[in-house]
Every structure is written in structure tokens, then in C-alpha cells.
Structure 1
């Protein structure tokens, strides 16, 4: 009995951790990052003390909860950058990044605002922005991406995509795909393309 007890405790701890992460992902996705930690504990069926033992800060919970999305974001940008046609790679990134963020309101909030203290998310945001900036530069050199596209336009895209509200997750994704297609058409350079107004500084809120 005593030989099995530590293994049993480890199993319980892992189960609690998994329930906390599942609850956090579900609540962050629908409610955003302002959801209280106590509500996450309640949804997970654990006490607040158990939650804080596993995740001492909300920042730690946010970072862990969005690990899969961060990996997906990395994969999308790397795939776009690897395309020999920079414009096609740029379009792929816009389409898939919008779809990824349409599925999870909390991830968009964390990514766009660089959630305070969530260092992994802030670092991944910086890496993504740098990679998209290089891809955009290459697409502009081909003449396909309009010359007045600037990096803040990517953050503007995600902020606008976050504002889409639909009657179901499926319709949310459909609306996001349509939005991405409209954006791509607006980003493509053409002989009659009118210049954009000056870019405005964006807050991180």
C-alpha cells in the first residue's frame, strides 16, 4: 500500500492539473482573460488552493493553456515563410492566423496585448511579428503586396478579427474566413490601388 501511495498522489495531481487546464481553456475561449481564477477552479472542480499550487499566477496558467495555440501559430508562420511564392505564403498566414484566432477569444487577447508577465506569449508574439515582417517585405518586392502595408496592420487585422461575433463557432469561423479573404483582396497591389491613410499607433490593451 505505501509503495503505491505516492504514485496515486501523482496521478491525482496530474488529473487536477488537466481539469484546471481544460476549464481555463474553455473559459478563456468564451469569456476572455478577465475570468476570475476562482471561477476556473470552480469549473475544474478543485479548490482555489489546489489551482494556485499548480499555477501560482494567472500568467503561468495563461501561458500553459495556450501552449497548443502558440505551437500552431509558429507552424502557420513557418509554413508561410517557407513558400517559394512570398505573396502566396503571406495570404496563407493571414487566412490561417485569422481562423486560429477566431476559435479562441482568450488567445487573441493574450497575443494582441502581450498579456502582462506571460513571457512565453510575448516572446512568441515578437517572433511571429518579425517573421511576418520579413515575409511581407519579400511579398512587397514581388509587387503583389501593396507597398504601404506596415507591420501594425497585422495587429489591426487580429483586433478586428476578434470583434467578429456569430451565432455559433462554425459561423464564427465562416465569418472569419470571409473577413480574411476581403483583407487579402485589399492588401493586393493593383494599378488603381489608392494609398492608405497613415497608420495609427495601436495600444496593447
Structure 2
């Protein structure tokens, strides 16, 4: 009986540790999406309902937690960039990539910051970064060579454009979380070649009252946020 008890205890502890790690990662995913990378490990512990020591036993620092939370998202981002290169239509491939990026960044503040900081010194990100940057460069080069993109557009412009759309999405999210679609279309219209059809604007503009509401929401303090 004593031998059986000895065998059962480690299995229970491993299961508890796995559940705690899952709770920590899910809590971090929610907080990063809502508040960005500025959150602390104390914030994560509070959201997960575990002691902060439990978080530090699983993740030595916030970089490790960021890598755990966003590795899959960055992998999907890299896959989408490479899939866009396989699209036989260079303009459609570019639009497909931009739409994917704008859609996912608009709903996840932390992911937006991770994409902006692709040089983040995390070993697990290096291989993904080395897939994303060349793929985006090729998306742009292929569209330029096909004559569907303004010849002055550079890969860095595409990243800047995506983050401009994301910034507007963050501003207007409390009022209209789909507004990013409008500004993505406006931005694509600004970089297309003359022989490419204009994108329709799928979402109406914000009214003056809605802009004021968005300003008020942005200025309001976020209760419980620690910096």
C-alpha cells in the first residue's frame, strides 16, 4: 500500500502543475490581448487565481511568458505570409496578408506589440522572425514587379501601414470594433497601382459624436491596471 501511495502522489502533482500552467497561460493571453505587454506577472497571478510564486516557478520572467503565449500566433502569422506568396494573383496575395494581419492585431493588443517588436530577444521567436520578414519582403517585391503596387512601396511601409490601421482600431474599438476594415481599405487604396480596382469601404465612417465617445473612452482610467 505504501508503494502504491508513492506512485500516485507524483502523478497528482504533475496534473496540478499542468492545470496551473494552463490557467497561467490563459490568464496571460487574456491580459495581453486586452492591455498589451505592459502587464506584470503579479497581474497574471491575480487573474489566474494562483500565487505569484507559482507563476515564477513556471516562467522565470515575462519574456518567457510572452513566448509561450504568442509562439502559436506568430507561427500562424508566418504561415499566412507564406501562403500569400503562393497566391497566383500578387495583389490578392498582398491583400490577403494585410487583412489577416489587421484582423488579428485589431483584437489583440499584445499581439500587435509583439509584431511591432519582431526583434524581441527571445530564442523561440528567432526562427519565426526569420520566416516573416523575408516573406513580407517578397510579397511586396512580387506585387511591385507585377505592376499592381506603387513602385515606391517598401516592406517597412507594409508593416507601418498595418500598425496605423491597428492604432485606429484601438482608438475606435469601444465604439465600433469593425472600423479597422474601413481604414484597411482606405490604406490599400493608397498603395495600389492605377490599374488595380479600388477597395470598397465596407464600414461607414465614425460620426462626430462617436469620435468624441472614443476620445472619452480612451481618456478614462482603467481601474485596477498596474504599470
Q: TM-score, normalised to structure 1's length? A: 0.85
Greater length-normalized contact order (CA 8 Å, ≥ 6 residues apart):
1
User: Aligned-pair distance for 1:168?
Assistant: 4.6
Of 122, 128, 131, which aligns to 1:124?
128
Does the 8 Å CA contact 1:77/1:132 hold for their aligned counterparts?
yes
User: 1:154-173 residue pairs with structure 2 within 5 A?
Assistant: 154-163=158-167, 164=169, 165-168=171-174, 171-172=176-177
User: Aligned-pair distance for 1:167?
Assistant: 4.3
User: Aligned-pair distance for 1:37?
Assistant: 1.0
Structure 1 stretch 175-184 or stretch 56-65: which is displaced more? 175-184
**Aligned CA-pair RMSD:** 1.8
Structure 1, unaligned stretches of length 5 or more?
Answer: 192-205
Of 70, 74, 78, which aligns to 1:70?
74
Structure 1 stretch 42-51 or stretch 176-185: which is displaced more? 176-185
Q: Secondary structure at the match of 1:190?
A: coil
Q: Would you say 1:17 and 2:49 are equivalent positions? A: no
Does the 8 Å CA contact 1:108/1:158 hold for their aligned counterparts?
no
Q: Would you say 1:144 and 2:148 are equivalent positions? A: yes
User: Aligned-pair distance for 1:162?
Assistant: 2.8
CA distance in 2, matches of 1:54, 1:186: 46
Aligned length: 189
Q: TM-score, normalised to structure 2's length? A: 0.77
CA distance in 2, matches of 1:54, 1:115: 24
Q: Secondary structure at the match of 1:161?
A: helix
User: 1:38-77 residue pairs with structure 2 within 5 A?
Assistant: 38-77=42-81
User: Aligned-pair distance for 1:120?
Assistant: 2.9
The structure whose Rg is larger is: 2
Structure 1 stretch 156-165 or stretch 32-41: which is displaced more? 156-165
CA distance in 1, matches of 2:94, 2:173: 29
CA distance in 2, matches of 1:140, 1:59: 37
Distance 1:104 1:12, change over 3 A: same
- 2:210 paired residue number: none
Q: Would you say 1:185 and 2:189 are equivalent positions? A: yes
Question: Any runs of at least 4 consecutive aligned residues in structure 1 with deviations exceeding 6 A, and if so which?
Answer: none
Distance 1:137 1:114, change over 3 A: closer
